[in-house]
Copies of this chain bind each other. A is one copy, B any other.
Amino acid sequence: MQCEVVAVGTELLLGQIVDTNSSWIGEQLALAGIDSFFQTKVGDNLDRMVEALETALSRSDAVIVTGGLGPTQDDITRDAIAKVMGVDLVRSTELVERIRAMFGSRGREMTDNNLRQADLPEGTIPNPVQPGTAPGLICEVDRGGATPKMIYAVPGVPWEMKQQMVGGVLPDLQGRAGITSVIKSRTLRTWGRSESGLAEALDAEIVRLDETGVATIAFLASGWEGIKVRVTAKAATDAEVDGVLDSEQARIMEIIGDVVFGFDDDTMESVVLDELRERGLTLGIAESLTGGLIASRITAVPGCSDVFRGAVIPYDRELKVSVLGTSDIPAVSEQMAIELAEGARRVLGADVGLAVTGVAGPTPHEGHEPGTVWIGLSINGRTDSALIDFPFDRDRVRQFTCISALSFLRNRLLGSKNADM
């Protein structure tokens, strides 16, 4: 069973709205075991919508079309489907009543436009789930095959679309496909090696998986979130697919375990908080060029307050001296990074002080080029430091400094002096 997605709306083509519906539907299809090889965006234009639907039906068994089911004149998904099916639109008295009741219960006035939403291409049935005023459509399209091709129309409003997908479309699709298998993914979060370096390290394993077909590996470069390595497997039961993922994870960890910092929903900040919590350590931060980015990532994690004490952002060099008690030395230096970490620990009353200082750019500072960054760390008075030279613009220097500093702390907590940051 192959199912495409067609998202309808001129505003999608113009970039006024990002099409997140197709992404969500694609994910649901994958998890439901249904292949989806093409997704198309098309504007509110009858001929082009018909063309997009015809193209999709010509190469797939089913198509989910999202959007264009509203009450206004440019909502013409119903018309496009009728044209593809070669039938007329018929007003459904059942749907008229359903829509009328919905308006009544909300105390809103129904306009004649809303009755357009009760029009169905002849021979189709409405989606049994209808949380809003837009009915979804389930349409069998006879193309001469043993079984009909399918068009499912769902609204463009995300919460209505999702309820109709889960309650109506996916069960119907799976029933028609006779699907019983389970597909799952697991993500290994990495930091410290390039995408091509990871691919080369895992090359033999990728070839092996290609040959056996038990699972697939994909890489996902995600900026200052690092590079994600995703393993996906398919099996008859939930337990079986978990088993495949467990054993594949173990194989991958043997090869690149030194740069894996977490799994699935873990983030660098969540794992650092967990490592600190396990050791009963509290954290204070002094961040200069990142200006609050590290602390804001830490505090994005609910429940961080048992570990995170607070931070000082001594953006002006004077404040490094006056608030954190450092010596009156250049800001971009190893000694400053270490004294900032010590100061953060002392002033913020923390066991661990983490500090960054350097040049975000765009212009040099104190004779140092943009991208020059010192990390300082003090764990109960034991200090450590690192120098990094980022070849990036201001935003990315700041972002990569955040995850590098947190990774540096994580590696020191784990006792690995030699791992990459």
Contacts and interface: CB of A to CB of B under 8 A. Distances in A.
A218 B51 contact: no
A294 interface: yes
A315 interface: yes
B296 A323 contact: no
Nearest to A210: B73
B310 A113 contact: no
Given A23-B18, A51-B59, A300-B291, A72 B323 contact: no
A42 B37 contact: yes
Contact of A305 (B39, B157, B200, B316): B316
Given A292-B293, A313-B311, A26 B37 contact: no
Interface in A377-421: 389, 391, 393-395, 398
A393 B221 CA distance: 28
Interface of A, helix, strand, loop or mixed by DSSP? mixed
Interface stretch (A81-89, A190-198, A243-251, A254-262): A190-198
Contacts of A113: 196, 199-200
B15 A24 contact: yes
A353 to B, nearest CB: 14
A196 B111 contact: yes
B37 A43 contact: yes
Nearest to A105: B391
Nearest to A156: B221
Given A302-B394, A394-B302, A72 B13 contact: no
A125 interface: no
Chain A interface residue number, banded = 35 or more
A386 to B, nearest CB: 15
- Residue in A28, A195, A296 with the greatest tally of chain B CB atoms within 10 Å: A296
Given A219-B72, A300-B291, A316-B305, A106 B395 contact: no
A11 interface: yes
Nearest to A41: B39
Interface string A299-343: 110101100111111111011001100000000000000000000
Interface string A190-231: 000011110110010010000000000011110000000010
A71 B292 contact: no
Contacts of A239: none
A300 B322 CA distance: 24
Contact of A11 (B42, B105, B218, B298): B218
A48 B38 contact: yes
A228 to B, nearest CB: 8
A42 B52 contact: no
A242 B126 CA distance: 45
A311 B323 contact: no
Contacts of A11: 218, 220, 230
Given A23-B19, A105-B391, A199-B113, A309 B316 contact: yes
A271 B36 CA distance: 44
Interface in A44-61: 45, 48, 51-52, 55, 59
Interface in A270-306: 285, 287, 289-296, 298-300, 302, 304-305
Contacts of A220: 11, 16-17
Given A296-B292, A310-B312, A13 B37 contact: yes
A319 B310 contact: yes
Contact of A15 (B30, B196, B221, B316): B30
A230 B292 contact: no
A180 interface: no
